[in-house]
Structure 1
Amino acid sequence: MANNNSNIYRIVFALIWAILFIISIFYHKELYNSYWIFGYGILLPVILIQIVLIFLNFKRNKHSFVITVISTIIGLGIVLVRDSEVFKSKVLFKAHLDGDINGLTLKFRSDETFEMISSTFMGHEESYSGNYKLEDDKIIFLDRPYDNDFVPDTLQILNDKLILNYYLNGEPDTSFGNFFQIIENHFP
């Protein structure tokens, strides 16, 4: 009887842990952006415990083992599919602005949507998205691309640069941190 109760407890624990594991994987970006300690202080131990449970349950309880393996596969599937480019439209234009301790990457897609990814040297990333329109060599953001005024609502393509600002005399400001370096340009 004690062995049967032990198996039930293992199965219940495996189910609860599987749910917590899948939730933590699914919301890892939101939690990391809000609480950066989540990335190393919580998510890493959760993944390590998941791996340990796979090995422990393999010998002790086949039902718990199956639950743990299935939740691991679901978690990996979430990680692989969530940020995949497979389900997004083709990138027509990509540019990067490299700062001292941070960077901005802009992607403009064929469905007239954009993504701006702000990243820091600590691994923190924030993503902004919206719609844009292209007029000749100007890219006009229809949605605010950033949570401050650093990136204006209109950018201009000039040779291999995406210009943010101009001097009063009309010359483009190509000093450090004032332009995006174009990586890909497939705009018509």
Structure 2
Amino acid sequence: MARYYNTIQILLLILVGIAFYVAYFNIDYLSERLWIFYLFPFLILIVQLLGLFIFTIIKKNRAGTLVGGLIILSIVSTFLYNSELVKSKRVLQATLMDDLSAIHLTLRENRQFEVNASTLFTEDYFYGKYKVIDNKIIFLDKRYNNDFIPDTVTIVGDKIILEFENGEPNTDFASYFDIKKNELKSYHKTVSE
């Protein structure tokens, strides 16, 4: 009978772990549907996982403790992998603000870019490669869900200009990025090929 309960504990740990990963990899969908309440499923799943893990320890279920420990280790590893600790250094950060939305651009030392477009209810992420030639940033991958951000943009002072009109930078409202951090000045000669 004890073996049966040990097996049930292991299966519950595995199911809660799988549910956590399903929620984690569908976080955009959850945030779109549940708005700010999308964190509740994570909270419930973490509490369940930790409760089951502690229960297996108390019941001296070695296999359950091992499985629970591996699941918790994999979750921690996933968060560490997606954290800033293991990512390449940021060399440029810029933001384009609108009345109800913002687009954040990050260029990394390893020639990767990240674009985070957020509105009141949604958040979209785009990742890819870029290269720099003089004061131009050339995106080699999809950088936005439409052509609002062209594949080549120009750094002019503390702004990233999206388009020019009659040879002059267009600095109308919500038509350029404000640069918050720029270490490309000393870096662009090594990035461009």
Deviation at 1:118, TM superposition (A): 1.6
Deviation at 1:7, TM superposition (A): 3.0
When structure 1 is superposed on structure 2, of 46-55 and 84-93 the one drifting more is 84-93
Deviation at 1:140, TM superposition (A): 2.2
Deviation at 1:31, TM superposition (A): 0.9
Aligned to 1:80: 80
The amino acid that maps onto 2:72 is: T
Aligned to 1:185: 182
Deviation at 1:96, TM superposition (A): 1.3
Gaps of 5+ in 2: 187-193
Please give the per-residue CA displacement for 1:111-148, whole angstroms capped at 9, x wherever unaligned. Answer: 333221222334x4322122323222222223331120
Give the secondary-structure state (helix, strand or coil) at the position aligned to 2:116. strand
Q: Given the superposition, is the C-alpha separation of residues 173 and 50 from structure 1 closer, same or farther in structure 2, using an over 3 Å criterion?
A: same
Are the aligned partners of 1:133 and 1:141 in contact in 2 as well (CA < 8 Å)?
Answer: yes
Alignment of 1:21-100 (within 5 A): 21=19, 23-24=21-22, 28=24, 30-36=25-31, 37=33, 39-40=38-39, 42-63=41-62, 64-81=64-81, 83-100=82-99
| Same amino acid, percent of matched pairs | 29
Q: Given the superposition, is the C-alpha separation of residues 15 and 33 from structure 1 closer, same or farther in structure 2, using an over 3 Å criterion?
A: closer
Please give the per-residue CA displacement for 1:25-53, whole angstroms capped at 9, x wherever unaligned. Answer: 6xx1x412234347346433222211222
Give the secondary-structure state (helix, strand or coil) at the position aligned to 2:50. helix
Deviation at 1:75, TM superposition (A): 0.7
Count residues with an aligned counterpart: 180
State how far apart, in whole Å, the 1-side matches of 2:134 and 2:4 are. 71
Aligned to 1:172: 169
Deviation at 1:162, TM superposition (A): 1.0
Give the secondary-structure state (helix, strand or coil) at the position aligned to 2:26. helix
RMSD over aligned CA atoms reads 2.6
Q: Given the superposition, is the C-alpha separation of residues 109 and 13 from structure 1 closer, same or farther in structure 2, using an over 3 Å criterion?
A: closer
State how far apart, in whole Å, the 1-side matches of 2:76 and 2:115 are. 25
